[in-house]
């Protein structure tokens, strides 16, 4: 069956998880400032280029009035000194969906970094290692006890290797970096949302036989032959979704994910798109966040808000709070909201 809200049908979940170290998720529904799971400010040095990463993170349980006991399906992972190397650090946000979305996001946040950490070719060929890790994680999720037929997770991850960022994305969460340009601080997207709004992704899933229709179209309220939905920012309320040729499922509004074995048959894949950025002194900080943040806030708005705070933990709280407020102004619910902000301190051209 189709769903009118969220990224996929069957979004409810009833699992629990035990987290430790830098892995953290699962909090009570937000009321004012209650229910925020937030890490205090932390630092890690990158000795190869003599700069410091100063970071904080926050995850916020969504508000779902019809299912108040619904679990936070977002998760995140921060792992410093990958393979014991003080110059290699990992930041990732995972946005689960479907009935077992919480299990999927937690499985993937642990397994992906585990596979990356154990790959001896990681530093020699980060691109190959990243691709292999995503595909291996998807395969291991498929072989696990978790039912991923109609459940899965997005993954937006940043691997810091010395002064280089490797950004691997599957789905519609996002990474953004702040760039100083004269007197301005500009937002530069490090990832591109993978949805049917993109012509290349639309064409790819159509080759797999996917029907691409909004909920109104699949339910007969609008003409299904109109295969144009405008842009994502102005038509996000009833976006184009992917459906099997002769059924009302799975209804995914993204074209790539980890898991989602049913949607995989119509072109939803776990192959990441990877971008590479060489850091310079003009790069001030980067943000890694679920679409609970970016649904109603542009990348530039998020960068503007983060710029206003010296402490990234304060910036995380402000952005999460504003995201939550905008959800409730425009919807009768909110999505789960997760954000990591990493400030880049002391990098020079020398």
- Which tens digit of pLDDT belongs to each residue from 297-336? 999 999 999 999 999 999 999 999 999 999 999 999 999 9
Task: Please give the average per-residue pLDDT across 276-304, as a whole number.
Answer: 97
Task: Tell which wins on pLDDT, 32 or 269.
Answer: 269
Dist CA 258 CA 142 (whole Å): 9
Residue 228: per-residue pLDDT: 85
Residues 323, 174: one domain? Answer: yes
* 342 pLDDT higher than 70: yes
Domain membership of residue 263 (yes or no) is: no
Could you tell me the CATH number of the domain that includes residue 329? 3.60.40.10
Q: Would you state the structure tokens that stand for residue 5, as one six-digit string?
A: 């809200």
Residues 150, 135: one domain? Answer: yes
Q: How do residues 46-69 score in pLDDT, each as one tens digit?
A: 999 999 999 999 999 999 998 888
* 26 pLDDT higher than 80: no
CB distance 76 to 124 below 8 Å: no
Domain membership of residue 10 (yes or no) is: no
Residues 131, 183: one domain? Answer: yes
Residues 74, 205: one domain? Answer: no
Cβ neighbours, 10 Å, residue 72: 25
Three state DSSP letters for the chain: CCCCCCCCCCCCCCCCCCCCCCCECCCCCCECCECEEECCCEEEEECCCCEEEEEEEEEECCCCCCCCCCCCCEEEEEECCHHHCCCEEEEEEEEEECCCHHHHHHHHHHHHHHHHHHCCCCCCCHHHHHHHHHHHHHHHHHHCCCCCCCCEECEEEEEEECCEEEEEEECCCEEEEEEEECCEEEEEECCCCCCCCCHHHHHHHHHCCCEEECHHHHCCCCCCCCCCCCCCCCCCCCCCEEECCCCCCEEECCCECEECHHHHCCCCECCCEEEEEECCCCEEEEEEECHHHHCCCCHHHHHHHHHCCCCHHHHHHHHHHHHHHHHHHHCCCCCCEEEEEEEEECCCCC
Share of the chain above pLDDT 70, in %: 87
Q: What are phi and psi of 131, to 5 degrees?
A: -60, -45
* 1 pLDDT higher than 80: no
Dist CA 81 CA 113 (whole Å): 12
Residues 206, 181: one domain? Answer: no
Residue 230: per-residue pLDDT: 78
Who contacts 155 (Cβ-Cβ below 8 Å, separation ≥6)? 92, 93, 94, 108, 112, 134, 168, 169, 170, 171, 173, 258, 272
Residues 96, 134: one domain? Answer: yes
Residues 87, 152: one domain? Answer: yes
Q: Would you state the structure tokens that stand for residue 207, as one six-digit string?
A: 């080759």
Residues 183, 98: one domain? Answer: yes
Residue 22: per-residue pLDDT: 40
How far from chain centre, in Å, is Cα 134? Answer: 14
Domain membership of residue 240 (yes or no) is: yes
Residue 36: per-residue pLDDT: 63
* 236 pLDDT higher than 70: no
Q: Mean pLDDT of all residues in the chain?
A: 88
Residue 21: per-residue pLDDT: 33
Domain membership of residue 35 (yes or no) is: no
Task: Please give the average per-residue pLDDT across 141-164, as a whole number.
Answer: 97
Structurally, the chain folds into a number of domains equal to: 2
The torsion defined by the Cα of 54, 318, 303 and 49, in degrees rounded to 10, comes to: 0
Dist CA 201 CA 319 (whole Å): 29
Residues 187, 200: one domain? Answer: no
* 5 pLDDT higher than 60: no
How far from chain centre, in Å, is Cα 285? Answer: 17
Cβ neighbours, 10 Å, residue 134: 26
Residue 173: per-residue pLDDT: 96
Domain membership of residue 85 (yes or no) is: yes
Q: pTM of the full predicted structure?
A: 0.88
Residue 238: per-residue pLDDT: 86
Domain membership of residue 20 (yes or no) is: no
Task: Please give the average per-residue pLDDT across 4-32, as a whole number.
Answer: 34
Residues 47, 100: one domain? Answer: yes
Domain membership of residue 2 (yes or no) is: no
Residue 348: per-residue pLDDT: 87
Domain that holds residue 199: 195-253
Dist CA 132 CA 142 (whole Å): 15
Task: Please give the average per-residue pLDDT across 251-259, as a whole number.
Answer: 96
Residues 75, 128: one domain? Answer: yes
Residue 15: per-residue pLDDT: 34
Residues 208, 285: one domain? Answer: no
Cβ neighbours, 10 Å, residue 188: 16
Q: How do residues 87-142 score in pLDDT, each as one tens digit?
A: 999 999 999 999 999 999 999 999 999 999 999 999 999 999 999 999 999 999 99
Share of the chain above pLDDT 90, in %: 79
Domain membership of residue 32 (yes or no) is: no
């Amino acid at each position: 069956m189709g769903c009118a809200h969220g990224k996929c049908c069957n979004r409810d979940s009833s699992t629990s998880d035990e987290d430790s170290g830098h892995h953290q998720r699962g909090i009570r529904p937000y009321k004012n400032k209650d229910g925020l799971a937030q890490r205090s400010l932390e630092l890690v040095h990158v000795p190869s280029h003599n700069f410091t990463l100063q970071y904080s993170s926050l995850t916020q349980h969504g508000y779902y009035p019809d299912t108040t006991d619904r679990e936070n399906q977002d998760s995140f992972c921060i792992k410093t000194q990958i393979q014991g190397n003080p110059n290699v650090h990992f930041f990732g946000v995972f946005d689960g969906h479907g009935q077992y979305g919480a299990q999927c996001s937690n499985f993937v946040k642990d397994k992906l970094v585990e596979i990356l950490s154990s790959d001896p070719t990681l530093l020699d060929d980060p691109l190959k290692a990243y691709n292999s890790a995503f595909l291996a994680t998807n395969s291991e999720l498929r072989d696990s006890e978790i039912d991923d037929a109609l459940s899965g997770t997005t993954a937006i991850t940043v691997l810091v290797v010395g002064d280089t960022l490797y950004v691997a994305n599957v789905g519609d969460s996002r990474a953004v970096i702040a760039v100083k340009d004269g007197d301005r601080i500009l937002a530069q997207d490090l990832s591109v949302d993978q949805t049917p709004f993109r012509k290349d992704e639309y064409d790819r899933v159509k080759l797999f036989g996917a029907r691409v229709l909004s909920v109104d179209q699949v339910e007969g309220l609008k003409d299904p032959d109109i295969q144009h939905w405008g842009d994502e920012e102005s038509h996000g309320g009833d976006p184009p979704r992917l459906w099997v040729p002769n059924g009302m499922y799975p209804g995914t509004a993204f074209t790539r994910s980890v898991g989602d074995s049913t949607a995989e048959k119509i072109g939803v894949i776990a192959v990441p798109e990877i971008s590479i950025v060489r850091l310079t002194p003009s790069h001030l900080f980067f943000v890694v966040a679920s679409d609970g943040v970016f649904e109603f806030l542009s990348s530039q708005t998020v960068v503007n808000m983060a710029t206003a705070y010296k402490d990234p933990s304060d910036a995380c709280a402000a952005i999460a709070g504003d995201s939550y407020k905008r959800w409730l102004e425009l919807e009768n619910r909110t999505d789960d909201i997760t954000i990591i902000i990493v400030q880049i301190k002391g990098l020079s051209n020398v």
